[in-house]
Amino acid sequence: MVAGKFKLQIRMNRVEGKTAIITGGGSGIGGASSELLAAEGANVVVTDIRGEAAQKTCDTIQQRGGSAISMQQDVTNQDRWGEVVSETLSAFGALDVLVNNAGISGASSVPLEETELDAWQGVMSINLDSVFLGCREAIKAMKGSGGSIINVSSVMGMVGGAPAAYNASKGGVRLLTKSIAVYCGTYGYDIRCNSVHPGYIWTPLVRNAIEFVDEIETEDDLMQMLVEKHPIGRLGTPDDIAKGVLFLASDDSAFMTGSELVIDGGYTAI
């Protein structure tokens, strides 16, 4: 290499040979993360409560020559977690990366004062309990060999402004992540655990919230309202977040654990 000049390297192998489980991989951020990790050499296990959606992502990866299998999984079911990890170990021999991505918005037209406990607990179960279950199962599988756990939180895990249960669940994911990072370090497990905090990404989770936003009638109006909250002047794409997931999954982030990777177009800078 000539001194003072960088050699341009096209890298397509940042997670070569690693095996990754991605929950909620049938859509949006989970779908893009599954595709990018596979393109960078990982064996990908795509799971989703909608088994056919997970299979569709898997088909896309395989058509591009990548390595993937799909599994139907409701992330709130603890027995299913055991099966998903054990089937992953049978298929690929190891688990190196877990992306706890599945989630719901909890958007509702019911005001906070009238929200039923069941509705609150439903959001907590999918957005937070599931992350505990996934981390618990992944630690069992990774503690001898090491690994990287990536928990998809949100800017709404850092600031208020969403339905209360969503805010609380994503704040919980943020600190659960740090707790797990410290726990694994304390016990000498070579397992890193980091959270990702996306700004608004134009996925079904956001688009479907339109019916609950007063004074917004069209998707264009909703998008415009949200764009104005992002100094960068646009919403994020699933690929914007997938690139952060790839970084945390790869050894490029080897010195990161218990960290918050904020990918938000400046949302939290205001």
Ligand X SMILES: NC(=O)c1ccc[n+]([C@@H]2O[C@H](COP(=O)([O-])OP(=O)(O)OC[C@H]3O[C@@H](n4cnc5c(N)ncnc54)[C@H](O)[C@@H]3O)[C@@H](O)[C@H]2O)c1
- Cβ 154 to ligand X shortest distance, Å: 3
Of 16, 24, 174, nearest to 84 by C-alpha is 24
Q: Which of residues 113-152 bind ligand X (CB under 6 A)?
A: 126, 152
For residue 203, state whether it binds ligand X (rule: CB under 6 A). yes
Q: How far apart are CA 85 and CA 214, in angstroms?
A: 42
Taking the complex as a whole, the smallest distance from the CB of residue 17 to ligand X amounts, in Å, to: 26
177 contributes a contact to ligand X by CB under 6 A: no
Q: What's the one-letter identity of residue 138?
A: A
- The reply to whether 163 sits near ligand X by the rule CB under 6 A is no
Where would I find the H helices in the chain?
A: 28-39, 51-63, 78-92, 117-124, 130-142, 164-186, 204-207, 219-227, 238-249
22 binds ligand X (CB under 6 A): no
Q: Which of 38, 39, 53, 61 binds ligand X (CB under 6 A)?
A: 53
Amino acid making up residue 39: A
- Does residue 11 belong to the site contacting ligand X (CB under 6 A)? no
Judged on CB neighbours under 10 Å (0-12, 13-18, 19+), 166 is buried
Asked if 87 touches ligand X (CB under 6 A), the answer is: no
Q: How far is the CB of 268 from ligand X (least distance, A)?
A: 12
Say how many residues touch ligand X, by CB under 6 A.
Answer: 29
Residue with tokens 């877990």: 98
Closer CB to ligand X, residue 154 or residue 167? 154
> In angstroms, rounded to a whole number, what is the distance separating the alpha carbons of residues 39 and 111?
44
Instruction: Please indicate whether residue 166 is annotated as part of the active site.
Output: yes
Residue 73 near ligand X by CB under 6 A: yes
The reply on whether position 84 binds ligand X by CB under 6 A is: no
- Minimal distance, residue 84 CB to ligand X, in Å: 10
Asked whether the beta carbons of 48 and 26 are under 8 A apart, the reply is yes
| Number of other CB atoms surrounding residue 140 within 10 Å | 12
Out of 19, 22, 27, 172, the residue judged to bind ligand X by CB under 6 A: 27
| 207 touches ligand X (CB under 6 A) | no
Is residue 244 a contact point for ligand X (CB under 6 A)? no
Is 200 one of the binding residues for ligand X (CB under 6 A)?
yes
Residue 168 · residue 124 · CB < 8 Å: yes
Q: Which two tokens stand for residue 255?
A: 């010195």
Q: Which residues bind ligand X (CB under 6 A)?
A: 23-24, 26-30, 48-50, 53, 73-76, 101-104, 126, 152, 154, 198, 200-201, 203-206
User: Which residues belong to the active site?
Assistant: 166
